[in-house]
């Protein structure tokens, strides 16, 4: 179950970054490319943070 949540969290982070770059940039083709690259980096960071959260011992 945690793997599906992790996939949704990473996909949401990527999608939000692409939408943000499309909103901020005028040329939509470049916005998608740059937004996708930035989104992959942010999604990897969010996924790593979520994985660390799952691996942390419960208090």
Domain of residue 20, residue span? 2-52
Whether 3 has a pLDDT exceeding 80, the answer reads no
38: left (phi over 0), alpha (psi -120 to 50) or beta: alpha
Confidence of residue 28 (pLDDT cuts 50, 70, 90): confident
Q: What is the pLDDT of residues 36-57, one digit of tens each?
A: 888 889 888 888 888 888 888 8
- Confidence at residue 32, expressed as pLDDT on a 0 to 100 scale: 82
Residue 14 lies in a domain: yes
* DSSP character at residue 52: H
Residue 12 lies in a domain: yes
Whether 35 has a pLDDT exceeding 80, the answer reads yes
Per-residue tokens: 53: 């959260």
Residue 29 lies in a domain: yes
Structural domain tally of the chain? 1
Whether 27 has a pLDDT exceeding 80, the answer reads no
Residue 59 lies in a domain: no
Residue 58 lies in a domain: no
pTM: 0.71
3-state secondary structure of 23: helix
């Amino acid at each position: 179950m945690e793997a599906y949540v992790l996939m949704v969290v990473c996909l949401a982070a990527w999608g939000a970054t692409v939408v943000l770059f499309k909103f901020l940039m005028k040329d939509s083709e470049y916005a998608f490319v740059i937004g996708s690259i930035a989104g992959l980096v942010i999604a990897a960071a969010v996924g790593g943070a979520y994985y660390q959260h799952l691996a942390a011992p419960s208090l």
